[in-house]
A = this chain, B = another copy of it.
Amino acid sequence: MPSAPQHDPAAATGPGGDGGLGADLGWTLGVAYRAYVKMAADAAAAVPGSHRGRQVLAAAAHEVPGTQRALAQRLGVDRTAMTYLIDDLAAAGLVERRPDPADRRNRQVVATDAGRRALEGVDRRLRTAEEYLLAGLDTADRTALRTLLRRLAAYIDSADPVGDACQAVDDIEAAESAAMRGQPPAPG
């Protein structure tokens, strides 16, 4: 668990430095994410389940198969939703469920040849579309952003700092609550 990071002094008014949305991390992430999803849904129209179906297919094609539950967790969906996603991909002939010989409760999800071909086509579209999305940044900045996001996601995925953050928030609340008890509550 990391020690409490120091605050950026420039972030005095709001989380982003000034109060507006333009520098708000949540807003910038949301804009980027929504734009990506919209664009990826278009590029992945050939695959059931939209951009999430493509991610499942990419995992089935390129990653060592684990449990459906682990994949669901990595993709941020419920395990029941993962079942439906894989159902649709399997019905389209893009992936197969194979029994895990080591633990027969598990189903390994692997891409079929048709799945790999479909993924190739979708990824070709996606690579082009991504560059359009990032066209406001020059080449170096595009690479830097991809690298930073990759590192951040790897950290979040492995260390789960959300729990730390929520704990820190709780600590603040406890501290403010204690300070509040020491002095009369503000009117209003």
Contact = CB atoms under 8 A, between A and B. Distances in A.
Contacts of A143: 8
Given A35-B156, A63-B20, A25 B173 contact: no
Given A127-B15, A132-B2, A38 B153 contact: no
A120 to B, nearest CB: 9
For chain A, give the interface size range. Answer: 35 or more
Given A152-B145, A188-B114, A26 B40 contact: yes
Interface in A79-138: 114, 119, 121, 123-137
Nearest to A71: B21
Given A20-B63, A21-B58, A62-B19, A135 B164 contact: yes
Per DSSP, chain A at the interface is helix
Nearest to A171: B128
Nearest 9 A-B pairs (CB), nearest first? Answer: A136-B155, A19-B62, A28-B153, A132-B165, A129-B165, A5-B131, A31-B153, A28-B149, A33-B33
A178 interface: no
16 contacts: A5-B131, A5-B132, A6-B131, A13-B123, A14-B62, A14-B119, A19-B58, A22-B150, A23-B146, A25-B146, A38-B162, A39-B169, A125-B173, A129-B168, A133-B162, A136-B154
Contacts of A18: 62
A136 B156 contact: yes
